[in-house]
């Protein structure tokens, strides 16, 4: 069925759900996850649809707070939430506690309304290891130790600003581990409430990576962020504006690209505008972050004069990364007979003053093609890393789309959802041109429209509430549809793997119920096989009936489990008691078929 849809309420934002007669302080005092659920029911109903959706919710009060934040996972039978508090809770049903992490507040402008401190320091419980925050200047609570973390390259216990949804990286990693145990689903399509909690990029990015990769794997990952801001960060604090490098550091090889940064209009507006914008590029090779980000002026003065053929692999990827760093562009309609909103990047030019064209480079700096430029970058990256990009994670901060109506200004490149998804598709196709077997492992979008009454940030270009939400839902739907099409196109190899595994285990489980094999395979092994296969049976049966399989990417935990089962079957064939040649051959044959399946997966 493709993605597992997850609505993620971090408790960071107030949406347009309150009565016009309410004041900001009244809204703040009573807003909760119940209002959020009522809001998304009415505003995102088409996206939510009738299919099951999971809700990862902060259910505490008040919202916009700091400190320990506990989350529960719900999967109700419907996505319709309305009526009284009791009615909404009844529909939501009983949830499962996933875990908690300690965080700073999200929005600095809300500190006075909540009487929140301007600065806090992190503490850790001496018994449980759980983190929390304490107001700067207050005494250390009993049983707690001030937490140590890296800040600007040095170990410290200093207080930090109580904003930007900061989390200690170890705490975030522990929570992601709890997410993995909670069976949230994979691959996930997550919608986060607030782009002042784009800390979600780290949570969902590492969730996707840890779902398919073992620690220490050499496989390369591309992390693609479409965002008004760089969101680079680093060190041991993860934040809404500082999660890119920490996510990249969770793998040994790969890249982090933040695309659409700091857009400004040179002329015109909307689809008729000309824009200047940037892409932030960071690289990681063999466990070391080598460029964070690529230094454009170094490339301009020390590398760009070299011939492409004379550049090292590292110099080449820096050169193309530098070309991506500063661009100007317009929008051109894709199909004259299609939607006027569906436009692609055009008139693309490198906007770095004085950037020379490297001798032998086939590009033209004042007439670039987005697909060709990104393809050159990814091809150079593959050469530099010495391996293809195996996985890609995509996240979108809605502040990169015009009229986003979040607290950030409208320095946004993309006029609408069409242009955003068209560009994401262009970048993804360029990645596939360099790494044809690259697999999409997750998509995240964060930053739903915010309450203008509460934030009071908008002084011009204010859109009606209804059209603001219509635009947000259209963007989410288009991104979801693009992701689903990617999963379908990449599922052919996985479909073959699942089909062959289905045939093997469908026959094996049936044989183990019969009188022939059952006496020679222990109760423990039979239970292990059933525990493995029963959750996957529906995927196999669906594919047999012409439907879509439920598994589009082979989870990292699956091959080791298959190896264990094959080994157990071989051990059963070597029993010390009497076993007929026919039974021995049958057990070994199943083990060999599983071995063959593992070679296909590799």
- List, for residues 447-473, the tens digit of each pLDDT value: 998 866 544 544 455 677 778 889 999
Provide CB contacts within 8 A for 557, sequence distance 6+.
Answer: none
The answer on 513 and 428 residing in a single domain is: no
The answer on 174 and 133 residing in a single domain is: no
214 is a domain residue: yes
Find residue 261's DSSP bridge partners.
278
CA quadruple 353, 358, 364, 368: dihedral sign? negative
Where is average pLDDT lowest: 56-60, 188-192, 253-257, 486-490?
486-490
- Report the run of H or E that residue 478 belongs to, with start and end: helix 465-513
Asked which of 115, 145, 164 is the last residue of a domain, the reply is 164
% pLDDT > 70, the chain: 89
Q: What is the pLDDT of residue 25?
A: 62
The answer on 290 and 251 residing in a single domain is: yes
pLDDT band at 518 (very low <50, low <70, confident <90, very high): confident
54 is a domain residue: yes
Asked which of 120, 138, 164 is the last residue of a domain, the reply is 164
Asked which of 164, 181, 197 is the last residue of a domain, the reply is 164
The answer on 256 and 374 residing in a single domain is: yes
| Greater pLDDT, 403 or 427 | 427
Q: What is the pLDDT of residue 497?
A: 75
186 is a domain residue: yes
Q: What does the block give as tokens for 348?
A: 């693309």
| Greater pLDDT, 240 or 1 | 240
Position 495 pLDDT exceeds 80? no
E strands, 253-372, in order? 253-267, 274-285, 288-291, 327-333, 343-350
For the chain, give the mean pLDDT. 88
487 is a domain residue: yes
Position 435 pLDDT exceeds 60? yes
- Radius of gyration of the CA atoms of the chain, in A: 26
Nearest C-alpha neighbor of 274 from the set 328, 310, 204, 319: 328
The answer on 407 and 305 residing in a single domain is: yes
Nearest C-alpha neighbor of 384 from the set 254, 275, 494: 254
Q: What is the pLDDT of residue 476?
A: 97
Total number of domains in the chain: 3
Position 3 pLDDT exceeds 90? yes
The answer on 407 and 551 residing in a single domain is: no
414 is a domain residue: yes
The domain of 288 spans 4-103+165-264+274-348+366-454+463-491
Q: Residue range 548-572: average pLDDT?
A: 80
Position 226 pLDDT exceeds 80? yes
The answer on 181 and 156 residing in a single domain is: no
pLDDT 10s digits, 531-541: 988 888 876 76
Q: Residue range 185-203: average pLDDT?
A: 94
The answer on 122 and 61 residing in a single domain is: no
pLDDT 10s digits, 135-179: 999 999 999 999 998 877 788 999 999 889 999 999 999 999 999
pLDDT band at 519 (very low <50, low <70, confident <90, very high): confident
The answer on 518 and 487 residing in a single domain is: no
359 is a domain residue: no
In a 3-state reduction of DSSP, which class is residue 143?
Answer: coil
- How many residues in the chain? 602
What is the Cα–Cα distance from 565 to 505, expressed in whole angstroms?
Answer: 11
pLDDT band at 545 (very low <50, low <70, confident <90, very high): low
Position 325 pLDDT exceeds 80? yes
Q: What is the pLDDT of residue 478?
A: 96
CA dist list (Å): 77 to 8, 72, 181, 470, 501? 17, 16, 22, 25, 31
139 is a domain residue: yes
pLDDT band at 21 (very low <50, low <70, confident <90, very high): low
CA quadruple 167, 189, 473, 344: dihedral sign? positive
Position 54 pLDDT exceeds 90? yes
pLDDT band at 279 (very low <50, low <70, confident <90, very high): very high
Q: What is the pLDDT of residue 583?
A: 83
The answer on 98 and 149 residing in a single domain is: no
The answer on 74 and 145 residing in a single domain is: no
In a 3-state reduction of DSSP, which class is residue 410?
Answer: coil
pTM metric for this prediction = 0.83
What is the Cα–Cα distance from 523 to 529, expressed in whole angstroms?
Answer: 10
What is the Cα–Cα distance from 508 to 504, expressed in whole angstroms?
Answer: 6
pLDDT band at 529 (very low <50, low <70, confident <90, very high): very high
Q: What is the pLDDT of residue 137?
A: 94
269 is a domain residue: no
The answer on 477 and 595 residing in a single domain is: no
Q: Residue range 417-427: average pLDDT?
A: 94
Q: What is the pLDDT of residue 459?
A: 47
Position 315 pLDDT exceeds 90? yes
The answer to whether the CB of 55 falls within 8 A of the CB of 9 is: yes
């Amino acid at each position: 069925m493709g993605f597992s849809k997850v609505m993620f309420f971090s408790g960071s934002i107030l949406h347009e759900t309150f009565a016009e007669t309410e004041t900001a302080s009244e809204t703040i005092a009573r807003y909760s996850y119940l209002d959020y659920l009522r809001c998304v029911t009415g505003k995102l109903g088409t996206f939510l649809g009738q299919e099951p959706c999971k809700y990862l919710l902060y259910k505490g009060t008040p919202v916009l707070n700091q400190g320990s934040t506990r989350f529960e996972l719900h999967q109700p039978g419907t996505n319709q939430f309305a009526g009284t508090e009791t009615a909404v809770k009844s529909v939501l049903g009983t949830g499962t506690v996933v875990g908690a992490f300690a965080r700073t507040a999200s929005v600095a402008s809300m500190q006075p309304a909540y009487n929140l401190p301007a600065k806090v320091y992190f503490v850790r419980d001496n018994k449980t290891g759980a983190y929390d925050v304490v107001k700067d200047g207050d005494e250390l609570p009993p049983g707690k130790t001030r937490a140590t973390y890296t800040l600007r390259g040095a170990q410290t216990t200093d207080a930090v600003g109580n904003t930007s949804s900061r989390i200690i990286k170890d705490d975030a990693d522990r929570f992601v581990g709890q997410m993995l145990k909670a069976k949230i689903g994979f691959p996930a399509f997550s919608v986060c409430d607030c782009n002042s909690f784009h800390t979600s990029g780290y949570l969902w990015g590492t969730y996707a990576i840890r779902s398919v990769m073992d620690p220490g794997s050499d496989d390369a990952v591309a992390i693609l962020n479409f965002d008004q801001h760089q969101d680079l960060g680093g060190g041991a604090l993860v934040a809404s504006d500082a999660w890119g490098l920490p996510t990249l550091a969770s793998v040994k090889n790969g890249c982090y690209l933040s695309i659409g940064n700091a857009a400004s209009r040179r002329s015109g507006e909307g689809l008729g505008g000309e824009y200047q914008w940037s892409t932030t590029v960071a690289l990681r090779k063999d466990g070391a972050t080598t460029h964070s980000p690529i230094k454009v002026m170094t490339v301009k003065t020390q590398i760009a004069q070299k011939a492409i053929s004379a550049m090292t692999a590292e110099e080449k990827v820096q050169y193309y990364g530098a070309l991506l760093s500063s661009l100007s562009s317009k929008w051109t309609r894709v199909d004259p007979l299609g939607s006027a909103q569906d436009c692609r990047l055009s008139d693309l030019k490198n906007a770095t003053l004085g950037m020379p064209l490297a001798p032998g480079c086939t590009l033209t700096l004042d007439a670039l093609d987005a697909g060709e430029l990104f393809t050159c970058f990814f091809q150079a990256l593959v050469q530099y890393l010495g391996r293809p990009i195996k996985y890609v994670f995509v996240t979108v901060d809605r502040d990169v789309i015009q009229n986003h109506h979040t607290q950030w200004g409208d320095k946004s490149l993309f006029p609408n959802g069409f242009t955003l998804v068209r560009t994401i598709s262009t970048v993804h196709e360029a990645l596939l041109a360099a790494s044809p077997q690259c697999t999409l492992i997750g998509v995240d979008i964060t930053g739903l429209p915010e309450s203008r009454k509460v934030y009071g940030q908008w002084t011009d270009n204010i859109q009606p509430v209804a059209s603001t939400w219509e635009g947000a839902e259209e963007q989410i739907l288009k991104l979801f549809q693009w992701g689903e099409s990617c999963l379908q196109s990449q599922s052919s190899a996985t479909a073959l793997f699942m089909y062959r595994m289905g045939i093997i285990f469908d026959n094996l489980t049936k044989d183990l119920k019969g009188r022939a094999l059952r006496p020679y395979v222990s109760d423990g092994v039979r239970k292990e096989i059933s525990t493995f296969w029963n959750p996957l049976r529906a995927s196999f049966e669906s594919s047999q009936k012409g439907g879509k399989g439920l598994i589009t990417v082979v989870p990292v935990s699956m091959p080791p489990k298959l190896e264990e089962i094959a080994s157990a079957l071989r051990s059963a064939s070597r029993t010390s008691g009497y076993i007929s040649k026919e039974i021995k051959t049958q057990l070994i044959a199943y083990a060999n078929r599983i071995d063959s399946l593992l070679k296909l997966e590799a």
